[in-house]
Amino acid sequence: AYEDVPELLTQFDVGLVLYKANTLNFVHNVPNKAIEYLACGLEVWYPPEMKAMKSFAEANPNQRMREVDFKSMVDERPPQVERTPPDNFPFTCERALASLVRELDIIAGSVR
């Protein structure tokens, strides 16, 4: 069930974004899947063809994201991963809306 996905993901260390980036949409977007993986504390691996993922990773260096050339990994050992909890994950609606909720509380208090 979809609502069980966050708990299921906490059993893993890495979330793979396995898009071929064979359309401009996949080259120039950050998929929801990547954000969901980060929110669950997983390191995100994405292919080098996904330019927006690379920009997103560079703009958010405190988030664990790694460009991995999956095509060349056939005979290689995967990189080591260190598991960290998602304590400071900024991309949640609660964090994004916190300042708005505070402002609305202030406004509502002054209207009463």
SS3 (DSSP) at 67? strand
Whether the predicted pLDDT of 94 surpasses 80: no
Helix, strand counts (H, E) of the chain:
5, 3
The mean pLDDT value of the chain amounts to 84
86 residue type, one letter? P
CA distances from 12 to 18, 38, 43 (A): 16, 12, 9
21-66: per-residue pLDDT in tens? 889 988 999 999 999 999 888 999 999 999 999 999 999 998 999 9
Q: What pLDDT score was predicted for residue 50? A: 95
Say whether pTM exceeds 0.85. Answer: no
The tokens of 84 are what?
Answer: 């960290």
Query: Which long-range contacts (C-beta less than 8 Å, at least 24 apart) are formed by 90-93?
Result: 90/60, 91/35, 91/38, 91/39, 92/39
CA distance 66 to 5: 22
